[in-house]
């Protein structure tokens, strides 16, 4: 019998690298501050925010949410495939995730273009200032995330992906899931919460 007991045999696995979690926590804190400021201003002018929100149309937001949720699912499957050593599957799944991310960027460009064509810009009112700033900041995260997924794809193509491959895959996936989580919160706050 093991004298150390079951607790010593059980190890907690934190995916990725610890430094990445500092970055993720920092991003979550920054977005939390943005959400707090948005909600404070919304409480000051509820009629303006409600009227402006109706001009968004939730269809784009819902489509974008489905794209990112699907992309996160592909990334989670890619991490599982990397752990099991089936790198051809990893490559297919990462390509699918990158495709969903690129479709999100294209959809966001169409949405912004549609709003701008209607004369709705950053300067239309306070709600749309927040809308463009928050979705723009998130879009930067999506572009960084796509670059991270591209790096994971290229690393997965190597004959030998190198030491720490699993941790790199997990870390990249954790960042992509953060991007997804932030969008789900943005979708709720900007498009749905009345």
Lowest mean pLDDT among 10-19, 35-44, 130-139, 150-159: 10-19
Q: Are 73 and 177 in contact (CB under 8 A)?
A: no
11 found inside a domain: no
pLDDT tens column, 116-156? 999 999 899 999 999 999 999 999 999 999 999 999 999 99
What is the pLDDT at residue 26?
87
CATH of the domain at 32: 1.20.120.80
With respect to residue 2, please indicate whether it lies within any of the assigned structural domains: no
| pLDDT value of residue 11 | 63
Classify residue 150: in a domain, yes or no: yes
User: How many domains are there within the chain?
Assistant: 1
* Confidence class for position 1, pLDDT limits 50, 70, 90: very low
Residue-level pLDDT at 2: 47
Is the sign of the CA dihedral 112, 116, 118, 124 positive or negative? positive
Q: Determine, yes or no, domain membership for 12.
A: no
Q: What is the predicted pLDDT for the residue at 70?
A: 97
Q: Find, among 114, 77, 80, the residue nearest to 95 by Cα.
A: 77
Q: Is 11 left (phi over 0), alpha (psi -120 to 50) or beta?
A: beta
In this model, does residue 9 exceed pLDDT 60? no
At residue 16, the pLDDT reads: 61
For CA atoms 31, 17, 181, 12, give the dihedral sign: negative
Average of per-residue pLDDT across 153-177: 87
Q: What is the pLDDT of residue 160?
A: 84
Instruction: Establish if 130 belongs to a structural domain.
Output: yes
Q: What is the b/e burial string over 41-73, where b = at least 16 CB atoms within 10 angstroms of the residue's CB?
A: ebeeeeeebeebbeebeeebbeebbebbebbbe
Residue 6 lies in a domain: no
Give me the pLDDT at residue 56, please. Answer: 86
Q: Give residue 22's domain range.
A: 18-192
In terms of pTM, does the model score above 0.75? Answer: yes
Residue 60: inside a domain: yes
Higher-scoring residue by pLDDT: 2, 61:
61
Q: What is the pLDDT of residue 8?
A: 47
Is 147 part of a structural domain of the chain?
yes
């Amino acid at each position: 019998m093991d004298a150390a007991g079951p607790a010593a045999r059980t190890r907690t696995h934190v995916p990725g690298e610890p430094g990445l979690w500092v970055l993720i926590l920092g991003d979550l804190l920054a977005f939390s501050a943005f959400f707090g400021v948005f909600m404070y201003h919304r409480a000051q002018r509820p009629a303006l925010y409600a009227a402006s929100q109706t001009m968004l149309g939730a269809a784009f937001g819902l489509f974008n949410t489905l794209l990112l949720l699907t992309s996160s699912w592909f990334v989670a499957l890619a991490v599982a495939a990397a752990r099991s050593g089936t790198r051809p599957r990893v490559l297919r799944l990462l390509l699918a995730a990158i495709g969903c991310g690129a479709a999100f960027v294209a959809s966001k460009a169409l949405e912004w273009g549609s709003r701008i064509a209607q004369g709705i810009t950053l300067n239309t009112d306070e709600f749309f200032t927040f809308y463009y700033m928050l979705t723009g900041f998130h879009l930067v995260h999506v572009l960084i995330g796509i670059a991270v997924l591209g790096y994971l794809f290229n690393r997965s193509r190597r004959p030998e992906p190198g030491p720490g491959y699993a941790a790199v895959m997990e870390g990249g996936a954790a960042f992509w899931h953060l991007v997804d989580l932030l969008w789900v919160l943005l979708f709720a706050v900007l498009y749905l919460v009345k």
